[in-house]
């Protein structure tokens, strides 16, 4: 189950990544991974295992204290200023709490995904090129809510809000998509609908995707590859078929039960 | 044992409030000494006060004389509020921890705002009358500076309490600071800021009524003239008009603010 | 990334209400700007050349004075600021004393019922609207120049604000403790002392402190009309444009107010 540490290659490469928070807590203890282009990776592990930390090093919302993350040949860990922003604009992110601007319209939220690629003046004046506006509407159509474009974001249901979150990330035309527990605030049927949308879009556009999930069954349903974390260390790395109940009990360090399943 | 444990905090509590009381009493003794406050004046003052009001039968023929300075008073307040808001906006973002450029400029902005707010409006007015001469201009400048201090302080408190989620989302998108402010911060604070602008306009109307006392334009000039010449009927009309205008603007502003939020 | 997807080029038109709101926002801003221009144009501002000559005469000496405060007047400025401080204390205390009974009348949920609430509230609004500096002028005429006039003006004016917030606090109190004391056989006075006062006191105190911060600023300027405190020596120096001395006074005022504000807001945070 231990990965052979070789030269890190692939679309996203974690090279011996360590994260120590200001509190002194070591959240990642040397993670080395290579994720090929287009792969749909699900990260599982108990609360506090370091899943969010891992995902956040990919777009440098958390900066590793040693080691580095290379995304499509760019060392994002050491990128700063304009270079960092350019690298981030290629990486979409979806949040558990959606992180929409609630008082703005849906389409404005989606358009904000274009900001990283625009000249600053266009962004500040909200002067989006026609093509960008059309693209944003298309993103909304792809997540299935084209008719909600001019509704205020806080008037949507949770599932619809998360779809707006996906559309915003999609509007970036990303080659990498990160999702930190994207369905944790949603009910089971909605969870499945949102995950299917995410997976379908990632397939269609060939987007390399890393998703944190709590639920074993969902991880098995959607992943190309499952990575198990415990205490800041990768303890499992394999296909959904290899991720047996026994493997999960090893990752979680306890017997699994119904609470670990989302159900259908 | 349990008795003692319960008694202890009560005893210290009592000592504490006793010390506080003694300190406050001492403060007042010193205050009376320092200000030579004349308690008797309370009663003579009160009777003078009521006598003053008794004489204020408004002379409505003074109205034509009142309109031009009244209009100027409102103009001063309005212009100062608008300019103050325009200057306050960038300061709001500089002074808020979650939108600041760097710690140094944040500290500078905060210090500037603290100084702006600690100088009373009438003092600003007197200061600029000395520099710019009599008239409405020093009034506008004084109230503008005062508005900046109040608005930017209230604004940056609002900015610091916004939902940080969208900020993080736009950071992940790779948007720069200004774009992030426009898309993630402004929508969250716009309604509150407009409400604060109305509130500052209310304050400015009240202030611009009196800055004429130091020569900074508006109706205060006339107010002072009437008082100096003991023109009670004119004064009565003037005070009546000020009352109506201030209350009307307050009422309008409160109504508009209640609709905003 | 997908070459297969056709690049979209249609933008669905915004619905009518969105376009209307956008138009109204633009119109609103246009009205504000038009009013602004109109106000500036009709306000009888001095000509640029007059402003320029005023600045020429005063700006440089002012700046020079501001960076080199005159330490000889430090003692005078400090002493006047101390008197100002105590004026604010007495003015606030007077206001609180007067506002206390009035606020119970204006609240209308405890004493006297609602019959007196409206006149009480109107009186408070009237007091608040009456400019403080006019009160100061009246009291200077009546009691002669000096701190007493300023204290009286602040005291009266503060009734408006304090009475308003006091009565809001009273209207928001929890009736439970009052009923408990009445049920235990307590009379009106008992109810008041043991159920009302403990509930309202922290909030009252906090608002009194806040008003004190405001009054300290007022007290610093009331002297300009002769009502005591630092305003008088300051405005004399302003009239004679002794900028270095003005500078010293400003430093004392700002420093004093900043420190008192910080202390006062710390106490307020601990109160509520
Ligand atoms: N900003 C931070 N400062 C200090 N410690 C942090 C911070 N963020 C996370 N941690 C700590 O780092 C460890 C890993 O946290 P992380 O959020 O990555 O876990 P997680 O696997 O995502 O957990 P969950 O499933 O609860 O989201 C935890 O012990 C957490 O308390
Ligand atoms: Mg997490």
pLDDT digits (tens, 9 = 90+) for C35-79: 999 999 888 777 788 888 878 888 888 888 888 898 899 999 999
Residue B41 has pLDDT above 80, yes or no: no
If asked whether residues B203 and B239 sit together in one domain, one would say: yes
Q: Whole-model pTM?
A: 0.89
CATH architecture of C67-271: Orthogonal Bundle (1.10)
* DSSP symbols for C120-133: HHHHHHHHHHS-HH
User: Whose Cα sits closest to atom 6 in ligand 1?
Assistant: A21
Residue A237 has pLDDT above 50, yes or no: yes
Contacts of residue A65, Cβ cutoff 8 Å, sequence gap at least 6: A18, A19, A20
Give the range of the structural domain holding residue A102, as residue numbers without chain letter.
96-173
User: Is A150 a member of any domain?
Assistant: yes
**ipTM for the whole predicted complex goes beyond 0.95:** no
Which residues from C are below 8 Å from B243, CB to CB?
Answer: 126, 129-130
Please give the radius of gyration of chain B, using alpha carbons only, rounded to the nearest integer. 25
Give how many domains chain B has, as a whole number: 2
Give the range of the structural domain holding residue B26, as residue numbers without chain letter.
2-40
The H-or-E segment that residue A225 falls in is strand A225-230
Residue B9 has pLDDT above 70, yes or no: no
Of B34, B122, B210, nearest to C82 by CB-CB distance is B34
CA distance to partner chain C, nearest, from residue A176 (Å): 11
If asked whether residues B143 and B244 sit together in one domain, one would say: yes
| Ligand nearest to the backbone CA of A214 | 1
Of C32, C46, C141, nearest to B135 by CB-CB distance is C46
Q: So where are chain C's domains?
A: 67-271
Buried b vs exposed e over C107-118: b needs ≥16 C-beta within 10 Å? bbebbeeeebbe
Which residues from C are below 8 Å from B78, CB to CB?
Answer: 35-36, 39
Residue A2 has pLDDT above 50, yes or no: no
Choose one of A29, A31, A52, A213 to mutate for the ligand 1 pocket test, by most ligand atoms within 8 angstroms of C-beta.
A52
Contacts of residue C235, Cβ cutoff 8 Å, sequence gap at least 6: B126, B214, C223, C224
If asked whether residues B78 and B31 sit together in one domain, one would say: no
* DSSP symbols for B183-231: IIIHHHHHHHHHHHHHHHHHHHHHHHHHGGGGT-SSTHHHHHHHHHTT-
If asked whether residues B71 and B103 sit together in one domain, one would say: yes
The CATH number of the domain where B114 resides is what?
1.10.3720.10
User: Is A133 a member of any domain?
Assistant: yes
Question: Mean pLDDT of all residues in chain A?
Answer: 90
If asked whether residues B6 and B113 sit together in one domain, one would say: no
If asked whether residues B134 and B255 sit together in one domain, one would say: yes
Do B35 and C246 lie within an 8 Å CB cutoff?
Answer: no
B150 alpha carbon to ligand 2 midpoint, in Å? Answer: 40
Strands A176-180 and A91-94: parallel
User: Is A146 a member of any domain?
Assistant: yes
A27 alpha carbon to ligand 1 midpoint, in Å? Answer: 7
User: Is A126 a member of any domain?
Assistant: yes
Question: pLDDT tens for residues A86-121?
Answer: 999 999 999 999 999 999 999 999 999 999 989 989
- Cα(A62)–Cα(A77) distance, rounded to whole angstroms? 9
| Strand order from edge to edge, sheet including A233-238 | A91-94, A176-180, A208-212, A40-45, A225-230, A233-238
User: Is B13 a member of any domain?
Assistant: yes
If asked whether residues B12 and B78 sit together in one domain, one would say: no
Question: How many other CB atoms are found less than 10 A from the CB of residue A74?
Answer: 15
Task: Tally B–C CB contacts below 8 A.
Answer: 160
User: Which of the residues A55, A103, A164 would you substitute to probe the B interface, choosing the one with the greatest number of B C-beta atoms within 10 Å?
Assistant: A103
Give how many domains chain A has, as a whole number: 1
Percent over 90 (pLDDT), chain C: 44
Mean pLDDT of B144-158: 94
Residue A139 has pLDDT above 90, yes or no: yes
């Amino acid at each position: 189950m231990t990965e052979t540490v070789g030269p890190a290659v692939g679309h996203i490469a974690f090279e011996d990544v360590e994260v120590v928070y200001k509190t002194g807590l070591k959240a990642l203890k040397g993670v080395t991974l290579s994720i090929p282009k287009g792969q749909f990776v699900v990260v599982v592990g108990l609360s506090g295992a370091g899943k969010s930390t891992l995902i956040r090093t990919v777009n440098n919302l958390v900066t590793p204290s040693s080691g580095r993350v290379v995304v499509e040949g760019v060392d994002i860990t050491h990128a700063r200023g304009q270079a960092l922003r350019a690298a981030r604009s290629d990486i979409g992110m979806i949040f558990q709490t959606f992180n929409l601007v609630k008082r703005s319209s849906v389409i404005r939220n989606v358009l904000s995904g274009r900001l990283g690629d625009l000249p600053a003046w266009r962004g500040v004046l909200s002067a989006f090129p026609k093509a960008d506006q059309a693209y944003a509407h298309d993103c909304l159509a792809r997540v299935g809510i084209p008719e909600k474009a001019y509704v205020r974001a806080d008037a949507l249901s949770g599932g619809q809000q998360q779809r707006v979150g996906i559309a915003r990330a999609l509007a970036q035309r990303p080659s990498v998509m990160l999702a930190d527990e994207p369905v944790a605030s949603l009910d089971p049927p909605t969870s499945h609908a949102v995950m299917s949308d995410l997976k379908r879009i990632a397939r269609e556009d060939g987007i390399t995707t890393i998703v944190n999930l709590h639920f074993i069954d969902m991880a098995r349903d959607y992943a190309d590859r499952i990575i198990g974390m415990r205490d800041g260390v990768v303890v499992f790395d394999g296909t959904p078929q290899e991720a047996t109940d026994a493997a999960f009990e090893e990752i979680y360090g306890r017997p699994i039960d119904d609470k670990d399943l989302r159900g259908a | 044992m349990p008795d003692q444990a319960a008694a202890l905090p009560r005893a210290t509590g009592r000592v504490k409030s006793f010390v506080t009381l003694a300190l406050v009493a001492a403060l007042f003794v010193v205050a009376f000494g320092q200000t030579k406050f004349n308690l008797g004046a309370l009663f003579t003052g009160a009777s003078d006060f009521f006598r003053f009001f008794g004489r204020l039968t408004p002379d409505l023929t003074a109205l034509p004389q009142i309109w031009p300075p009244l209009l100027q008073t409102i103009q001063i307040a309005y212009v100062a509020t608008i300019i103050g808001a325009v200057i306050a906006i960038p300061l709001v973002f500089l002074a808020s921890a979650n939108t600041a450029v760097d710690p140094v400029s944040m500290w500078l902005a905060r210090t500037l705002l603290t100084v702006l707010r600690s100088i009373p409006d009438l003092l600003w007015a007197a200061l600029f009358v000395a520099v710019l001469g009599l008239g409405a201009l020093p009034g506008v400048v004084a109230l503008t500076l005062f508005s900046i201090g109040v608005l930017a302080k209230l604004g940056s408190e609002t900015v610091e309490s916004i939902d940080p989620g969208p900020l993080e989302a736009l950071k992940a998108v790779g948007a720069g600071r200004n774009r992030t402010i426009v898309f993630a911060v402004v929508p969250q604070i716009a309604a509150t800021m407009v409400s604060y602008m109305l509130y500052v306009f209310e304050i400015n109307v009240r202030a611009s009524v009196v800055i004429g006392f130091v020569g900074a334009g508006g109706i205060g000039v006339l107010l002072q003239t009437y008082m100096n010449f003991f023109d009670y009927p004119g004064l009565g009309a003037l005070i009546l008009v000020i009352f109506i205008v201030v209350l009307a603007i307050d009422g309008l502003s409160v109504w508009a603010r209640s609709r905003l939020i | 990334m997908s070459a297969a997807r056709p690049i979209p080029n249609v933008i669905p038109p915004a619905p009518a209400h969105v376009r209307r709101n956008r138009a109204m926002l633009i119109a609103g801003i246009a009205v504000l700007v038009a009013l602004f221009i109109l106000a500036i144009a009709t306000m009888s501002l001095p000509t640029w050349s007059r402003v320029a000559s005023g600045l020429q005469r005063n700006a440089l000496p002012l700046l020079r004075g501001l960076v080199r405060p005159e330490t000889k007047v430090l003692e005078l400025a400090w002493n006047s600021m101390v008197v100002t401080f105590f004026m604010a204390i007495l003015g606030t205390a007077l206001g609180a004393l007067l506002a206390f009974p009035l606020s119970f009348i204006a609240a209308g949920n405890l004493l006297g019922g609602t019959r007196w609430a409206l006149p009480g509230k109107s009186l408070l609004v009237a007091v608040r609207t009456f400019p403080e500096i006019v009160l100061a002028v009246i009291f200077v005429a009546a009691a002669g120049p000096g701190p007493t006039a300023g204290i009286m003006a602040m005291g009266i004016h503060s009734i408006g604000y304090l009475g308003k917030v006091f009565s809001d606090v009273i209207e928001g109190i929890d009736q439970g403790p009052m009923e408990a004391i009445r049920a235990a056989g307590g009379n009106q006075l008992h109810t008041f002392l043991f159920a009302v006062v403990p509930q309202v006191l922290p909030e009252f105190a906090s608002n009194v402190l806040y008003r004190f911060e405001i009054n300290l600023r007022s007290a610093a300027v009331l002297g300009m009309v002769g009502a005591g405190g630092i305003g008088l020596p300051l405005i004399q120096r302003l009239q004679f444009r002794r900028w270095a001395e003005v500078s010293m006074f400003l430093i004392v005022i700002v420093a004093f107010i900043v420190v008192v504000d910080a202390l006062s807001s710390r106490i307020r945070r601990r109160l509520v």
